[in-house]
Amino acid sequence: MEASFSDKHYELVVACKRGDRQSQFKLYNLYAKAMYNTALRIVQDEAEAADVLQEAFIDAFTRLDSFRQESTFGLWMKQIVVNKSISALRKRKLELQPLEAGDEVPNEEPEDNGVELQVAAVKHAIDKLPDGYRLVLTLYLLEGYDHEEIAHILRISEATSRSQFLRGRRKLLNYLAN
């Protein structure tokens, strides 16, 4: 059975492929805020997120002919933004926290321990995490990627993705508890 989808901006994308600048502007306005927020969650710097956003749209509009519309434009665009954001982090030398001797890599995430979380407190706590933890946690929890996809995107092992997520989550919960 083949999955089907409906891209409500299909006609705009088709017009953009024909070179219609007004359609490009409309598409930009439809997606810019969401894509900026995605970039900001990853790079954690407003100016850098704005740069990532501009580079991503330039790249998207340049490569629009390669977009086969097998998914929505929004999903395709989000992939470009996430990849550009990660590239920006790599330029800053993203450091994943190393595994320590005796560290166990569990196969499943532990259950929530009932801590009530306030949005502002969570955002502040996430901002305090080391880049590696924050990036994996953001991709997993906020962007909806699974560990296999994160491993592929970051060029790390799936076990490293899981351990970064679990350690980051533990550290996040500690920040929130204190």
What pLDDT, on the 0 to 100 scale, is given for residue 84?
A: 93
Domain tally, the chain: 2
Q: Are 64 and 16 in contact (CB under 8 A)?
A: yes
What pLDDT, on the 0 to 100 scale, is given for residue 96?
A: 59
Rounded to the nearest 5°, which phi and psi values hold at 68?
A: -90, 5
Cα radius of gyration rounded to whole Å, the chain: 18
CA angle in degrees (0–180, nearest 5) for 104-163-127: 140
Most confident of 24-38, 84-98, 132-146: 24-38
Q: Domain for residue 61, yes or no?
A: yes
Q: Are 153 and 83 in contact (CB under 8 A)?
A: yes
Q: Domain for residue 134, yes or no?
A: yes
d(CA 101, CA 104) in angstroms, rounded, equals 9
Q: Is the pLDDT of residue 53 over 90?
A: yes
Those residues whose C-beta lies under 8 Å from the C-beta of residue 172, and which sit 6 or more positions away, are 122, 125, 126, 129, 133, 137
Domain CATH number, residue 138: 1.10.10.10
Which of 114 and 172 is assigned the larger pLDDT? Answer: 172
- Whether residues 14 and 81 share a domain: the answer is yes
What pLDDT, on the 0 to 100 scale, is given for residue 70?
A: 80
Which of 116 and 162 is assigned the larger pLDDT? Answer: 162
d(CA 174, CA 129) in angstroms, rounded, equals 11
The pLDDT tens digits of the residues spanning 83-138 come to 999 888 888 765 556 666 555 555 555 554 444 447 778 888 888 888 889 889 88
Q: Domain for residue 106, yes or no?
A: no
Domain extent for 139:
119-177
Q: Are 12 and 23 in contact (CB under 8 A)?
A: yes
Q: Model's pTM, two decimal places?
A: 0.65
Q: Domain for residue 15, yes or no?
A: yes
Q: Is the pLDDT of residue 165 over 60?
A: yes
What pLDDT, on the 0 to 100 scale, is given for residue 108?
A: 57
